[in-house]
Amino acid sequence: MQRYLIGQLALWKDKPDRKPLILNGARQVGKTWILHEFGKTYFKNTVYVYCDDKKEDLVHIFDNLSPSHIVQALETYTNSRIVAGETLIVLDEVQEIPRALTCLKYFCEQAPEYHIAVAGSLLGLMLHEGTSFPVGKVDMMQLYPFTFIEFLLALGKEQLVDALQAENEPILSALHPTLIELLKQYFFIGGMPEAISKYVETQSYISVRRVQEAILKSYLSDFSKHAPKEQIERISMVYRSIPAQLSKENKKFTYGVVKEGARAKDFEIAVQWLIDAGLVLPVSRVTKPQMPLKFYEDFIAYKLYLSDVGLLGAMNGVSPRAMLLSDKVFTEYKGAFVENYVLQSLQGLDLPIFYYSKPQSTQEVDFLVQFDDMIIPIEAKSGTNLRSQSLNAYRKEQSPQLAIKTSLLPFKQNEGLINMPIYRVRTWFENQIKKSQAELEELNINNL
């Protein structure tokens, strides 16, 4: 399987000002696999330590935080040679030994020649709490579920990927029906590596659903193992409420959906726990669609989506037939799957993403994306009806340079409005980012 984060890891390896790396991400998104693959591809050897295994023995390695002591102790523990520049040191589930995380500060300051990377499913929780993190002494990356493009590569559809990335309109127009069918598959299977691997192996949607259900059970188990005792039930209630929250016409997160009569103070810690664990994706509201969007963030109003559209289908109990043999997944469920997919597709692009709604009005734009000097509104809809009252009203009032409406129709741009096939959202933004970066580099060269 190919993950594009490998390329970012390769850049990190050769950075002249490289720091120890923290790889964050929700449980079971493939952090361990990608670090093993990275080590196998770019280093002579990898020294891998699972910090939740024989933890009592491992804890003592970090009693002394001197890098030279830790390197020597790890060599003894793993019976492997560690050579600076040739060995990748991986500490997995590092949150189980907080001092192992603390040692990164000393590797940064005293032994930057070593390549050391740590990973953990619950590191986001520790970061939010501000405990044990060597602030300013580490590089950080986030791994998300497979994108649609990575999904296509896993299925061996390299030519389709090439056409999408090249934005070859005549070819993509001919491939449009095929891509819609594959998108339906992705909506069901989602981006969790084990679910994709199971489908590639068995071609069985029933087996895929079993994997998804097992992942959801493991998440619920994590709540009882790692969350504060007084928050366990509340975290579970919030997580289970996400499908119901997204089935509303107005998808703003409402505490009353979690529990009748509930208030923010009852569940705000539980919501933050799920965000920090990487299990839900938050989108805040802005009161004004102006640059920079962060200035106008409304911290009270927000939406929560699941980290993976496939898990959303599993939580809803949507059958393979409903998703794969019709267009119901696009036209029903109040657009929940399409919105979840669009947001999931944009993760990892370092683009500020919000939504906008007018006070005392039903007018709402699903997403506002801040890109360069533009704010791009996105109406994340499906079907073949291109009319959109909210987006039309927004364009009339705000006159954006570009606006996007997703649909099941082929790509078309007319007077600043792009009709975007749902499956092209991420590749379109990736190409815009590349063009912008190339223009900046050219500008820097001309100014020398």
Final residue of a structural domain among 125, 142, 159: 142
pLDDT higher than threshold 80 for residue 133: no
3-class DSSP state for residue 412?
strand
pLDDT of residue 291: 94
Final residue of a structural domain among 142, 171, 194: 142
Task: Please state which of the ranges 207-211, 212-216, 246-250 shows the lowest mean pLDDT.
Answer: 246-250
pLDDT of residue 98: 87
Q: List pLDDT tens digits, range 383-439.
A: 666 567 889 999 999 999 999 999 999 999 998 999 999 999 999 999 999 999 888
How do 297-306 and 353-357 pair as beta strands?
unpaired
Q: Both 213 and 137 in a single domain?
A: no
Residue 415 resides in a domain = yes
Q: Both 287 and 394 in a single domain?
A: yes
pLDDT of residue 383: 65
Q: Both 125 and 155 in a single domain?
A: no
Residue 237 resides in a domain = yes
Find the mean pLDDT for residues 154-163: 96
Residue 444 resides in a domain = no
pLDDT of residue 125: 65
How would you class 321 by CB atoms within 10 Å of its CB: exposed for 0-12, middle for 13-18, buried for 19 or more? exposed
pLDDT higher than threshold 70 for residue 198: yes
Q: Both 166 and 208 in a single domain?
A: yes
Residue 440 resides in a domain = no
Q: Both 214 and 360 in a single domain?
A: yes
pLDDT of residue 124: 65
pLDDT of residue 326: 75
C-alpha to C-alpha distances, 139 to 12, 34, 296, 377, nearest whole angstrom: 8, 17, 29, 31
Q: List pLDDT tens digits, range 376-393.
A: 999 998 766 656 788 999
The tally of domains found in the chain comes to: 2
Q: Which residues contact 396 (CB under 8 A, 6 or more apart)?
A: none
pTM above 0.75, yes or no: yes
pLDDT of residue 135: 77
Q: Both 120 and 246 in a single domain?
A: no
pLDDT of residue 146: 98
pLDDT higher than threshold 60 for residue 445: yes
Find the mean pLDDT for residues 266-271: 95
Find the mean pLDDT for residues 149-159: 97
**Of the candidates 186, 226, 206, 196, the residue with the CA atom closest to the CA atom of residue 312:** 186
Q: Which domain holds residue 86?
A: 5-142
Find the mean pLDDT for residues 132-137: 79
Residue 447 resides in a domain = no
Q: How many CB atoms are closer than 10 A to CB 317?
A: 10
